[in-house]
A and B are shown apart, each in its own frame.
Chain A
Amino acid sequence: MRTIFAMGGGGFTMEPHNPALDEFILSLSRRREPRILHLPTAGGDQDPQIAAFHATFGDRACEAAHLSLFRLGGTGPVHLRDLVLHQDIVYVGGGSMRLMLAIWREYGLDAILREAWRRGVILAGLSAGAMCWFTGGVTKSTGVPEPVEGLGLLEGSLTVHADGEPERLPVFERAVADGTLPPGYAADDGCGLLFRGEHFERAVSSRPDARAWHVEPDGAGGVRKTPLLPTYLPSAGRADRTTPPDILEFRRERRGRAG
C-alpha cells in the first residue's frame, strides 16, 4: 500500500520530548522491527539532527539508520537504490526544500524515492520533508516564503508550520487562490496527514490544539478552508518511556548471535 505521512512540524527534531508522531510513524509499518532510514539532506546532514534521530529511534522497536549524502563514499561505495528499497520507512527531515530536491536530483534519489513509494516503502517527513511529496508547497529556502515545486507523488499542495510560521499561510492561500498551486492542505506544527494511495485518509496530532485544513479556491478570488479534525494521539505529551522487555531481550539475542 502506497503510504505518505506528511507532518506540518513535529517529531524528534521539533518536539524531542513528545514521541507521539514518531511512534505513529513506526506503527504505520506492519513489521515488528521496521527498518527506518532518516534523510537529513534538507538541513545539510548536520550531526546534531542525526544524533537526535538515533537518540529517538535507537532503542525503539526498529532498525534505525541515516543516509548522509554529504558524506557518501567515506566508508566505501553506497548503493542508494538498494539501501532505500530495503527500508520499511523513509523519514525525511526539515530544512531547505529547494536545496534538498536539487541535491536529490544530482544523486538520482528523487527517482529512487518515487520507486520506493510505488513499492510500498512508507514515506514520512516534516516541513520540507512533508511538502516534497506533493505537486508543490511553500518554501523559505531563500529567506522569504514562496511557492515551490515538489516531486508530485501526491496531486495537490501542502503548506507547513501553519501556526508556528504564520507568514507562510497567506502566501499559500494566495497561490491556491490564483492557481499558482493546486488545491491542497495546510498543517500546524504537531499535525500529520496520512495518505493511502493518492488519497487523504486522516489527520493525527501530538498537540491538543494542532489543526489542519483542506484549502481550495472559492471561485471568488479567495480560498475555502475546510477543517480536517485531527485525532489526538494517545502517546502525545508523554515525556519518558521504557523500552519493552521483549525488545531488550530481542536485542540481546541479536547481539549474542552477531558476537
Chain B
Amino acid sequence: MTRPPQIVAFGGGGFSMESGNPLLDDHVLGLTGVQRPKVCFIPTASGDADHYVVRFYRRFSTIADTSHLSLFRRDRGGGAVEGDIESHLMAQDLIYVGGGSVLSLIGAWMAHGIDRILERCWRAGVVLCGLSAGSLCWFREALTAFHGPPEVVRGVGLLPWSNCVHYDAEPERAVEFRAAIASGQLCSGYGADDGAALHFVGGDLAEVVTSRERARACRVEGVGGEAIETALQTRYLGATAVPLAA
C-alpha cells in the first residue's frame, strides 16, 4: 500500500511512559492501515537496554509482526535484526524509536548510516514515530542541556522545525526552548506535553492527538526577538468522560 511520508512525534507517552494507556500506540498502529503491521523498535537512545526491548515486545508482539534493531550488540546474535538493515527497515509499516539520550542516538545512527536509511523509509511511506529522544531526532534541531548552558543538537532533519518534548513536565526545558527561539539560536518549532503527539504528513503538521485529555501542544515562532507561543488544537483519542450528574 502507498502511504505519504509521516512522522508522529510524541512529547512523551506510549508504552515506555504510560503503561496501561494504549491510545498513542494504537493510533500509530492505525496509521499504517494494515491489519497486522510490521513494527520495528529502535532503542538506540537507551543504549539498547534489554529491559526496554522486552517491554516493546510485551506491548506489540501479539498485535504486530515485531522486531528490534540493536546497534550495540550486532556481533552477539542477540535476536535483533542482523545483516541487511536497510532492507529490513524498508519492509516495515511502522518504525518506533525509543527515548533516552538524543546526542548518543545521533552519534550512533550516523556511525552506521541509520539516519539516511530512515530518511529513505520515510519517503517510501514507512510511518516513523517515537517519544522524547525518539521524537527530537526527526527535527532539524533541539536543545540539550547536559553540561551547563543549553546547546543546540542537530537531528536527522526530516522536519524543518525545532522540537521540545515533555513541555509541561519539565517547565525549565520549555523556558529555555522559548528563549533559544527568541534569540534565533533555534528555528521556530513545536512544544509537546507528555501524552501529546504531533502528526506530520510530509513536513507539515496535520494534527495533534493526545492520550490525556489535558495534554497540550503549541507552535513557537521567533518574531522580532520574541518567542510567540500559539496553542494548537488537539484531538483526544479516548472516549470523553461523561460528567456525573450532581
Chain A contacts to B: CB under 8 angstroms? 42-47, 69-73, 77-80, 95-96, 98-99, 101-107, 140-143
Do the beta carbons of B103 and A106 come within 8 Å of each other? yes
Do the beta carbons of B112 and A98 come within 8 Å of each other? yes
Give the distance in Å from the alpha carbon of A78 to the alpha carbon of B147 in the complex: 5
Given A72-B147, A77-B147, A79-B148: A103 and B75 within 8 A (CB)?
A: no
12 CB contacts below 8 A, A to B, read A44-B48, A45-B47, A70-B46, A70-B101, A72-B146, A73-B145, A78-B146, A79-B147, A79-B148, A102-B108, A106-B104, A140-B75
Give the distance in Å from the alpha carbon of A106 to the alpha carbon of B103 in the complex: 6
**Contact flags (1/0) for B123-163 with A, using CB distance below 8 Å?**
00000000000000000000011111000010000000000
Contact of A69 among B82, B103, B145, B153 (CB under 8 A): B103
In chain B, what residue has the closest Cβ to A141?
B74
Contacts of A45 in B (CB 8 A): 47
Contacts of B75 in A (CB 8 A): 96, 140-141, 143
Contacts of B110 in A (CB 8 A): 102
Contacts of A95 in B (CB 8 A): 72
Do the beta carbons of A96 and B72 come within 8 Å of each other? yes
The CB with the most chain B CB atoms within 10 A, among A45, A95, A99, is that of: A99
Do the beta carbons of A103 and B108 come within 8 Å of each other? yes
**Separation in Å of the B234 CB from the closest CB of chain A?**
28
Contacts of B47 in A (CB 8 A): 43-46, 70
Number of interface residues of B (CB under 8 A): 29
- Near A by CB (< 8 A), chain B positions 29-81 give 45-50, 71-75
Does more than half of chain B's interface fall in helix, strand or loop, or is it mixed?
Answer: loop
**Separation in Å of the A67 CB from the closest CB of chain B?**
11
In chain A, what residue has the closest Cβ to B77?
A143
Contacts of B71 in A (CB 8 A): 96, 99
B111 interfacial contact with A, CB 8 Å: yes
7 A-B pairs with the lowest CB-CB distances in the bound complex, closest first: A44-B47, A102-B111, A106-B107, A140-B75, A103-B107, A72-B146, A44-B72
In chain A, what residue has the closest Cβ to B43?
A44
**Separation in Å of the B50 CB from the closest CB of chain A?**
8
Contacts of B106 in A (CB 8 A): 106
**Separation in Å of the A135 CB from the closest CB of chain B?**
18
Give the distance in Å from the alpha carbon of A141 to the alpha carbon of B145 in the complex: 29
B184 interfacial contact with A, CB 8 Å: no
Contacts of A43 in B (CB 8 A): 47, 72
5 further A-B contacts with Cβ under 8 Å, apart from A96-B75, A140-B75, are A43-B72, A44-B49, A70-B45, A140-B74, A143-B74
Contacts of B45 in A (CB 8 A): 70
B22 interfacial contact with A, CB 8 Å: no
Give the distance in Å from the alpha carbon of A45 to the alpha carbon of B83 in the complex: 24
Give the distance in Å from the alpha carbon of A96 to the alpha carbon of B71 in the complex: 8
Contacts of A47 in B (CB 8 A): 49
Give the distance in Å from the alpha carbon of A62 to the alpha carbon of B242 in the complex: 62
B202 interfacial contact with A, CB 8 Å: no
Given A142-B74, A142-B112, A143-B82: A77 and B104 within 8 A (CB)?
A: no
Do the beta carbons of B146 and A98 come within 8 Å of each other? no
Contact of A77 among B100, B103, B145 (CB under 8 A): B145
Give the distance in Å from the alpha carbon of A106 to the alpha carbon of B109 in the complex: 11
Do the beta carbons of B108 and A77 come within 8 Å of each other? no
Given A78-B147, A79-B147, A79-B148: A99 and B49 within 8 A (CB)?
A: no
Give the distance in Å from the alpha carbon of A78 to the alpha carbon of B74 in the complex: 30
**Separation in Å of the A109 CB from the closest CB of chain B?**
10
Do the beta carbons of B107 and A105 come within 8 Å of each other? yes
Contacts of B148 in A (CB 8 A): 77, 79
Contact of A46 among B49, B74, B108, B153 (CB under 8 A): B49
Give the distance in Å from the alpha carbon of A154 to the alpha carbon of B74 in the complex: 27
**Contact flags (1/0) for B102-124 with A, using CB distance below 8 Å?**
01101110111000000000000
